[in-house]
Structure 1
Amino acid sequence: MARILLMGLSVALALLVAVIAGYVPTTQNSLYNFSQFIQHGYNILSLGLLFVLAVFGGAYIVPLYTLLQIKTPQQHRARMMATNNILNALFMVVASVLLMVGFANEVSLLTQLLIMALLNLVVAGVFIKKPQSHEDTKF
């Protein structure tokens, strides 16, 4: 199931990049209100893809945290959650630095998002090649 969710995240992000890349901005100099915003097809599609991205992300991360809590012995659970939070913060900093390096080298945001989608597919491919034992998924 995690494999499908990871692939869904990658596909949704790649589609979102494609939709945003095809967007033609208007010459209007003021901000849109919500009804003006949703009158454009690209905007509705972008909102839908953001929703799909959020659903796949939530469906992936919530069971992952549950598994982390269930598989960790109770006396080490708090340390494991703290370690997970520290690693998440570290990876966010690394991702921010990589984005800054990309911008410094004049790589567009859409290209960087597409690279993230492709890297996510690589991770999903690693999960696909690794056989999953039933012992790992039992609660």
Structure 2
Amino acid sequence: MKFLSVEVLTMIATVLGSNGVLYLIAKTMLTRWETKHPVVMRDDRVDELRAHVDELRSQVDELRDTQQILRAAVIELAYLRISDKHERYSKRGWAHPNEKRVVQRIYVAYHSLGGNGTGSELNREVQNMPSYPPDEHEPE
């Protein structure tokens, strides 16, 4: 009896195979398997791109560090400029309107880069100074 069932199954498989139905069933089953379990192929280009991205990240970090150092240096130079002009104008007792504008522009750059209140106070004092020497405006 087992022999007959194997023969019948072989005959059915032959008939189905000759009509392409067996091929279609096998292909459908393989396609389903591949969609559920995709084969991951290793691509050297991905590794190369990853290496380039890592290198670029490293360069960006270096540039960010350099930018912070340069920002601190510019803040310090702007403060020194404001301080120098404040001292000069304070000794003189007045600051011409153009000199006040220069100090104000330096202060704006200083403050926008993150300068603290010390430069603000010096700028405020320069802006509040008389604009002309005292002897030029004395009544005759």
* Greater Cα radius of gyration, structure 1 or 2: 2
TM-score, structure 1 normalization: 0.27
TM-score, structure 2 normalization: 0.27
